[in-house]
Structure 1
Amino acid sequence: MAFGLALALALPAHAAKPQRILSMNQCTDLLLLQLVPKARIAGVTYLARDGSAALFPGAADGVPVNYGTPEDIIKFRPDLILTGDFSLAVTRRLAHEVGAPLVEVKSTRTFDDVRQNLRQVGAAVGEPARAEALVRELDARLAGLAAQRPARPNRVVVWDGGATVPGSETFANQIIRTAGAVNIAAEPGGLYTGFDVERLLVARPDALLSAGGARPLLQNDEARHRVVRRLFAGRRIAYPEVAFNCGLPQSAKAAVDIRRQLDALPPGTAR
């Protein structure tokens, strides 16, 4: 919040809102699309349409696409650039050359980060009131979850057949905890941890959180193994992957949806 406030105070009251905003990161794409009309967006990344289709279909339709390269800065000639927190030195240099402020939005690990990023981007694009409205929506959903904690937290793991799964220091783990569940892969201090099919069968979580195996990867074959299908029949909970990877207002909705699906699990465990 401090960055957003400082940026807002640094701008004159009469300063024009940026009209050619270029987003060079999928997460900033999805924040930007919720904060300003399409007419003020010079471009979003090629990943924006897939991300928006999962959360708010049609939001990115008709918006020009970039590929996150420094050359895109020259092509689009933006008056504001939004990136993640790993932008290249050449990106910073070209932004300076075209006279466009560069706003780097940090990766998300907590819902406090979501609030901070919303306010940061809202201030940069000249829409602090819209950002605050989205923060209020986020907080309302989180308050609803906190007010009704489950009597017995379900044991879950984010698992699509891969050898690694999100651990304790990930935003995915924060969403799971907010939903009132326990991420059994959340070992102290870990971003990602090994969790192969053998470990899954020993741990026997109450449910698997799955992005649906949309990508045709060999690792997804394990998720379709007959033993896994039998043990977790009716115990696979779908989640929007982009809401786990990016800190968005919809990340709170993902937690609400997970809670609802956990509450609807059949009695017993995956035994």
Structure 2
Amino acid sequence: MRSHYPLIALCALSLWLSSAQAARLVSVNLCVDQMLLRFAARDDIASVTYFANNPAMSPYAADAQGLHRNHGLVEEIIPLAPDVVLAGAYGARQATALLSQLGYRVERVPLPEKLADIDAHLLRMAELLGEPAALQAYRQTWLEHKKARETANAQVPDSARPRALMLGPNHIAPGAGTLEHELLVLAGFRNWAADQPGFATVNLEQLVQQPPDVLIVDVAADHQFSLAHEVLQHPALNAAIGPQRVARLPSNLAVCPAPNINTLLSALVAIQARIADLATIGGVSR
């Protein structure tokens, strides 16, 4: 069995170091990374994950430059003398369990799976970060934006809303029961894939035979070819939908919805308004 004595020695050293320092936060979860990068004081961030500086996965990748990055390993975290180690609900279980045994404070923060979870997540993160004003304002904006959209949606019958399909790599689309589905509905759409539970595979024939009013794809698909996005270049799809009915959204916003929920909702509302205008002038057929 592997000895823990070197780790215990490191633990004692790190606890001594932390007694003379301000809050030191270590994240072992990409979505927690984003919350820290957006709302925590930079001097309080001791480490983020090695995903944090990947622009395909985080819109805050540039902010992660120069910060220590970890792979969720105890050996990487103890020398940092963290005051708090922040994890998701399920990841890095072995490392966080050992850190807890060694006396470190570990906080697991469940990530939102529904829009109804967003507020509790923001409140929890605000508590852990010392109630930063920027995060409190962000939460208030979310609550107001959500209420305004619910009020606006109540004035429009479901049948009058454009049908939207969020199509990810490998033809994967969010269906019923997903946060993305709820976000589309809140933005004023009907989800084209609502009859499918969870994340479903959509084939080309379905898209051509029953095209959505708007196809929402990753903006990266415009700049680089990949087999995962190959269907977007198919002539039959282009003929069925047309360029006016294709909208682009940076996929890195949706990897972790909570830190980006206001930007996501605003972008989808803008797309919805554009498609609704097309319908008014006869550019969209249902």
Does TM, normalized by the shorter one, top 0.5?
yes
Is the Cα contact below 8 Å between 1:28 and 1:82 reproduced in 2? Answer: yes
Partner of residue 208 from structure 2, selected from 189, 201, 226: 201
Deviation at 1:249, TM superposition (A): 4.4
Total equivalences in the alignment: 255
Structure 1 residue aligned with 2:262: 252
> In structure 2, how many angstroms separate the alpha carbons of the residues matched to 1:260 and 1:191?
25
Alpha-carbon RMSD: 2.8
Structure 1 residue aligned with 2:243: 233
Q: Structure 1 residues 224 and 166, CA, compared in 2 at 3 Å: closer, same or farther?
A: same
Q: Structure 1 residues 221 and 46, CA, compared in 2 at 3 Å: closer, same or farther?
A: same
**SS of residue matched to 1:59:** helix
Structure 2 residue aligned with 1:13: none
TM-score (norm 1): 0.82
> In structure 2, how many angstroms separate the alpha carbons of the residues matched to 1:154 and 1:75?
54
Structure 1 residue aligned with 2:84: 80
Deviation at 1:215, TM superposition (A): 7.0
Tell me the alpha carbon deviations over residues 163-204 of structure 1, each in whole angstroms, 9 at most, x when there is no partner.
33111121111211110101111236x221121111111221
1:203 counterpart letter in structure 2: Q
Structure 2 residue ranges without an equivalent (≥5): 1-19
Deviation at 1:86, TM superposition (A): 1.3
Deviation at 1:93, TM superposition (A): 2.5
Query: Is 1:262 aligned to 2:272, yes or no?
Result: yes
> In structure 2, how many angstroms separate the alpha carbons of the residues matched to 1:25 and 1:38?
17
Query: Is 1:223 aligned to 2:232, yes or no?
Result: yes
Q: Structure 1 residues 38 and 98, CA, compared in 2 at 3 Å: closer, same or farther?
A: farther
Is the Cα contact below 8 Å between 1:142 and 1:178 reproduced in 2? Answer: yes
Query: Is 1:42 aligned to 2:55, yes or no?
Result: no
> In structure 1, how many angstroms separate the alpha carbons of the residues matched to 2:217 and 2:110?
26
Tell me the alpha carbon deviations over residues 126-158 of structure 1, each in whole angstroms, 9 at most, x when there is no partner.
226554322102112223323333742110111
Query: Is 1:157 aligned to 2:161, yes or no?
Result: no
Is the Cα contact below 8 Å between 2:34 and 2:58 reproduced in 1? Answer: no
Q: Structure 1 residues 226 and 71, CA, compared in 2 at 3 Å: closer, same or farther?
A: farther
1:200 counterpart letter in structure 2: L
Structure 1 residue ranges without an equivalent (≥5): 1-15
> In structure 1, how many angstroms separate the alpha carbons of the residues matched to 2:60 and 2:269?
21
Deviation at 1:42, TM superposition (A): 0.6
> In structure 1, how many angstroms separate the alpha carbons of the residues matched to 2:94 and 2:182?
34
2:36 counterpart letter in structure 1: L
> In structure 1, how many angstroms separate the alpha carbons of the residues matched to 2:45 and 2:163?
42
2:194 counterpart letter in structure 1: A
2:231 counterpart letter in structure 1: E
**SS of residue matched to 1:168:** coil
1:48 counterpart letter in structure 2: A
Is the Cα contact below 8 Å between 1:82 and 1:105 reproduced in 2? Answer: yes
Is the Cα contact below 8 Å between 2:34 and 2:60 reproduced in 1? Answer: no
Q: Structure 1 residues 185 and 53, CA, compared in 2 at 3 Å: closer, same or farther?
A: closer
Is the Cα contact below 8 Å between 1:26 and 1:45 reproduced in 2? Answer: yes
> In structure 2, how many angstroms separate the alpha carbons of the residues matched to 1:262 and 1:270?
15
**SS of residue matched to 1:259:** helix
Identical positions, percent: 22
**SS of residue matched to 1:185:** coil
Which has the larger Rg?
A: 2
Q: How does 1:1-271 map to 2 (within 5 A)?
A: 19-50=23-54, 55=59, 58-127=62-131, 130-149=134-153, 151=156, 152-160=160-168, 162-187=170-195, 190-212=197-219, 213=221, 217-230=226-239, 231-265=241-275, 266-267=278-279, 268-269=283-284
TM-score (norm 2): 0.78
**SS of residue matched to 1:165:** strand
Deviation at 1:18, TM superposition (A): 6.2
Q: Structure 1 residues 122 and 100, CA, compared in 2 at 3 Å: closer, same or farther?
A: farther
Structure 2 residue aligned with 1:3: none
Is the Cα contact below 8 Å between 2:40 and 2:129 reproduced in 1? Answer: yes
Tell me the alpha carbon deviations over residues 101-147 of structure 1, each in whole angstroms, 9 at most, x when there is no partner.
22222232223211111111221232265543221021122233233
